[in-house]
């Protein structure tokens, strides 16, 4: 249960933010379509605002988990910082259970789902009477 102060603190997280700020549970994503140098500056300014908000609210971001995912083939990959910490770059990130890579290719997501499905099958008994119901309950939901 949050106190009123905590609710207020989290609700004002996106005040002054110009980029797209997405919040879900304890996950916060900041994104921006880059077309100009001003757009790049806007993203860094918003990262600075988030760090400032965290300091004022006596909260902190887990900077080890903060990553930059550069989308597009010819993205120059500008390095970003959150406070005094340089953020690492990543080629693949998990977003709400779905793997997203920098080329927006679904091959890693498909490979992860197939691996999980095969794991479910290999744990089951290889009897048709047991395998088919197990497949329907354990494997099929991962493939849909």
pLDDT at 4: 37
Q: The domain containing residue 135 runs over which residues?
A: 106-144
Sequence-distant (6+) residues with CB within 8 A of 19 are: 30, 31, 32, 42, 43, 46
Q: Over range 100-105, report the average pLDDT.
A: 81
User: Does residue 27 sit in the same domain as residue 79?
Assistant: yes
Per the listing, tokens 């806007």 go with: 42
Task: For residue 125, name the pLDDT band (cuts at 50, 70, 90).
Answer: low
Same domain flag for 84 and 110: no
| 112 falls within a domain | yes
The pair of structure tokens assigned to 64 is: 């080890």
Q: Which of the 8 DSSP states describes residue 2?
A: -
Same domain, 67 and 130: no
**Matching residue, tokens 């849909």:** 144
pLDDT of res. 13: 80
The reply to whether 100 falls in a domain is no
Q: Is the pLDDT of residue 86 over 70?
A: yes
What stretch of H or E contains 95?
A: strand 92-95
Q: Same domain for 22 and 61?
A: yes
Predicted TM-score (pTM) of the model is 0.67
């Amino acid at each position: 249960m949050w106190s009123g102060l905590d609710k207020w603190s989290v609700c004002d997280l996106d005040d002054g933010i110009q980029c797209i700020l997405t919040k879900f549970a304890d996950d916060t994503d900041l994104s921006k379509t880059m077309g100009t140098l001003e757009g790049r500056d806007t993203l860094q300014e918003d990262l600075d605002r988030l760090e400032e908000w965290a300091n004022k609210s006596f909260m902190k971001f887990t900077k080890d988990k903060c990553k930059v995912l550069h989308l597009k083939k010819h993205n120059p990959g500008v390095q970003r910082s959150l406070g005094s910490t340089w953020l690492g770059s990543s080629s693949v990130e998990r977003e709400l259970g779905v793997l997203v890579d920098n080329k927006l290719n679904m091959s890693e997501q498909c490979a992860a789902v197939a691996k999980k499905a095969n794991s479910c099958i290999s744990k089951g008994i290889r009897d048709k009477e047991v395998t088919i119901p197990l497949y329907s309950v354990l494997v099929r939901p991962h493939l849909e």
